[in-house]
Amino acid sequence: MQPSRRLFLRLLAAVGVLAARRSPAAAPPVPIDAGAFARALTAETAGKPLRNSAEIALEVPLIAENGAIVPIAVETTLADVRELVILVERNPTPVAARFALDPALDPYVSLRIKMNESGEVVAVVKTASGCFGARKRVQVVVGGCG
């Protein structure tokens, strides 16, 4: 007996139903640890206070249409930049990016990050003379991390 197209489609639908039943449910959203951002910032600055600097230009949108793609640019005129770290206040993992910079390079980075919800974006610039920072608040319209 040659199988018909109708029988094939029924079997295909049955396999799809079984696969849907066996697939795990969507993972629950990751709860945001209220102290994770403060701990990450303290770890990045080695416990020292972050000094705000006018020599750091942090470009972020005031309102992000989509939290999944938030454009960021950081540039600094500080001397002897060794590392640049970007932290996001309300993300499950606060450290969004880390760049080890060679002294021969211009200290400029541009990227897109994910933001779970509205909050502060902090750029930490590590130099030979300490840690400097700039921060700006971003309003997220549509979430990206969860």
Could you read off the pLDDT of 58-113 as tens digits, one per residue?
999 999 998 999 999 999 999 999 999 999 998 989 999 999 998 888 899 999 99
**φ, ψ for residue 131, nearest 5 deg:** -105, 130
What's the pLDDT band for 33 if we cut at 50, 70, 90?
confident
CB 123 within 8 A of CB 56: yes
Other C-beta atoms closer than 10 Å to the C-beta of 41 total 21
The CATH superfamily of 36-140 is: SoxY domain (2.60.40.2470)
If one compares 13 and 87, the residue with the highest pLDDT of the two is 87
**Model confidence at 4: pLDDT above 90:** no
pLDDT surpassing 60 at residue 26: no
pLDDT at res. 19: 66
For the whole model, what pTM was predicted? 0.74
**Quick one: average pLDDT of 30-36?**
72
Residue type, 39: R
